[in-house]
Amino acid sequence: MFTEALRRGTRVAGLVAVAGGAAGCIVDVGDSTPPPVIVEPGRLTVRWTVNENVDPNLCLLGRAAAIDILVSTSVGASAGEYQAPCGAFATSISSLYPGNYFADALLIDSVGRARTTNVQISPFTIFARTELVVDVDFPADSFLDGAPNGAVDEGQTIRTKETR
CB-based contacts of 120, cutoff 8 Å, min separation 6: 102, 103, 104
Q: Domain 42-163, CATH 2.60.40.10 — does that match?
A: yes
Asked if pLDDT for residue 31 goes beyond 50, the answer is: yes
Domain ranges of the chain: 42-163
CB-based contacts of 123, cutoff 8 Å, min separation 6: 74, 100, 101, 102
- Average pLDDT of span 149-163: 39
Residue 147's region, left for phi above 0, alpha for psi from -120 to 50, else beta, is beta
Whole-model pTM: value is: 0.70
Asked if pLDDT for residue 146 goes beyond 90, the answer is: no
